[in-house]
Amino acid sequence: MKIVINILISSMLVITVFSANVTAGDESNPEIQDGQDDIIGTLVKYPGLSQILQRIGIVPIHTFEFIDITSAWFYEDKNEPDYLFVAIKIKDLNYTPLRAIYAVHWTFNEKHYGVACHTHSDGEFTWFAAGQIFGLLDNWAYKKGLIKDLSNCTIDLEKNKITFKIPKNIIGNPESGDVLTETYAWTGLRFISEIFTYLFGGELVKDTAPDGVDYFIQY
């Protein structure tokens, strides 16, 4: 009798652990978590420069909480099994007159994938893309169609959340039981012109949330 009970308990523990992995992926149990007030970048490193740029109107921003990551997570909808959903939560999400970037990355089958949106000008411009990421060769990947412009991006200022809806066929066609590894998120603030951004050493401010946990594809 004891043997049967032990086997039953062991089976339940295995099922519980597996279920925890599979069902992970919501706001209360995100794969990616980040501390608050941990942004970095030129305007954080040199606050005097930030004040000067504010006074002359080049960077008319007094707080950078709209770039501060809280968490990010993956999830799926059984009614739409051909899509992967990714959400990223920000401390105080708002549009900016400059260009803000919100991105989540992961690895699947030894290939690097990501999703991102760029926002600025009170919502007049939003750009959303997803696909395989190549770093410095992203422009090449974009021209080859490996990174695609899409429109399935929802920005919720009340909930401080951005949600992406990604067709699985552009991110390697993951199936039930597959695992997304090396998950992480990052945000950045840039000028509209990349040239001016580079003159200031890259992102004006930036936040990173590395070392997220794996996500198990459900459908």
Kindly report, residue by residue over 1-24, the tens digit of the pLDDT: 444 444 344 444 443 333 334 445
User: What does residue 113 show for φ and ψ, rounded to 5 degrees?
Assistant: -120, 160
Give the Å distances, CA to CA, from 12 to 7, 15, 84.
Answer: 9, 5, 28
Q: What CA–CA distance (Å, rounded) separates 36 from 186?
A: 13
pTM of structure: 0.85
Q: Is the pLDDT score of 202 beyond 50?
A: yes
25 and 75 Cβ atoms separated by less than 8 Å? yes
Q: Could you give the number of structural domains in the chain?
A: 1
Amino acid symbol at 210 = P
Range of the domain at 37: 2-216
Q: Is the pLDDT score of 106 beyond 70?
A: yes
Q: Among the listed ranges 140-144, 148-152, 158-162, 172-176, which one has the minimum average pLDDT value?
A: 140-144
pLDDT of residue 57: 87
pLDDT of residue 85: 97
Residue recorded with tokens 């696909």:
131
Q: What CA–CA distance (Å, rounded) separates 86 from 31?
A: 10
What is the average per-residue pLDDT within 29-55? Answer: 91
Q: Is the pLDDT score of 91 beyond 90?
A: yes
